[in-house]
Amino acid sequence: MNKEEWIEAALPNYIVTNPALKEEISGLSQKDQQDQIRWAFEDEAEALNIETWELALNFSDKPDEEVKALRLAVHKEAAEALDMDWEEYCALNAVEV
């Protein structure tokens, strides 16, 4: 799975935890409901100051150890893409190893 697939898989779990939003959007078309859920999800990630894919991992059905491993793998990819030292990247991005 890639990050976008993680997000899509997390949205059904996310809306279950937000009954007020579910009720608010109940009269909208299916497409509009999906859009509203996605926007609320993105807003929550922004409010938590994390990436949307990171929030998605929190709503996955994966065991905690797998979530931690996936999170670290994505951050390692980012550090490599930026050609940054891993320890420096972790310090700058508050990544706990």
Give the per-residue pLDDT at 61.
84
74 shares its domain with 93 = yes
What are residue 79's phi and psi, to 5 degrees?
-60, -40
Give the per-residue pLDDT at 82.
95
| Domain span at 96 | 62-97
Q: Is the dihedral of CA 82, 87, 90, 94 positive or negative?
A: negative
42 shares its domain with 75 = no
pLDDT along the chain (97 residues), means of 10: 90 96 96 97 95 92 89 92 95 87
Query: What does the alpha-carbon distance between residue 1 and residue 44 come to, in Å, rounded to a whole number?
Result: 22
The pTM for the full model equals 0.80
Give the per-residue pLDDT at 96.
85
Task: State the CB neighbour count (10 A cutoff) for residue 10.
Answer: 20
Give the per-residue pLDDT at 93.
87
From first CA to last CA, the distance across the chain in angstroms is 22
45 shares its domain with 6 = yes
55 shares its domain with 94 = no
Give the per-residue pLDDT at 47.
96
54 shares its domain with 95 = no
Give the per-residue pLDDT at 2.
84
54 shares its domain with 33 = yes
5 shares its domain with 30 = yes
68 shares its domain with 94 = yes
Give the per-residue pLDDT at 42.
97
**What's the domain count of the chain?**
2
